[in-house]
């Protein structure tokens, strides 16, 4: 189990945080996504044997966001 904090500066509303939570469904191995529009970042708890940070970044891009470690 690993936790990583990613900056997501292109969120433009509080519901973007809600959208980023979709990573929990999109990627097997993502356990929890805590995204904050105010802070412009998300904290992801994931199973590193199933998913990598690179996958998280790619997943965020698929949802329309640029995540940076």
Residues in Cβ contact with 36 at an 8 Å cutoff, skipping those fewer than 6 apart: 17, 42
CB closer to other proteins, 15 vs 66: 15
Taking alpha carbons only, the member of 25, 9, 20 closest to residue 60 is: 20
Contact pattern from residue 27 through residue 66 relative to other proteins, giving x for each residue in contact according to CB under 8 A and a dash for the rest: -------x-xxx-x-----------------------x--
Q: Which of 3, 5, 7, 15 binds other proteins (CB under 8 A)?
A: 15
Size of the site for other proteins (CB under 8 A): 18
SS3 call for 63: coil
């Amino acid at each position: 189990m690993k936790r990583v904090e990613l900056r997501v500066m292109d969120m433009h509303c509080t519901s973007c945080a809600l959208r980023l939570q979709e990573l929990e469904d999109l990627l097997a191995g993502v356990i929890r996504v805590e995204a904050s529009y105010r802070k412009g970042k998300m904290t992801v708890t994931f199973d590193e044997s199933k998913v990598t940070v690179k996958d998280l970044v790619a997943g965020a891009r698929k949802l329309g966001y640029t995540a940076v470690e």
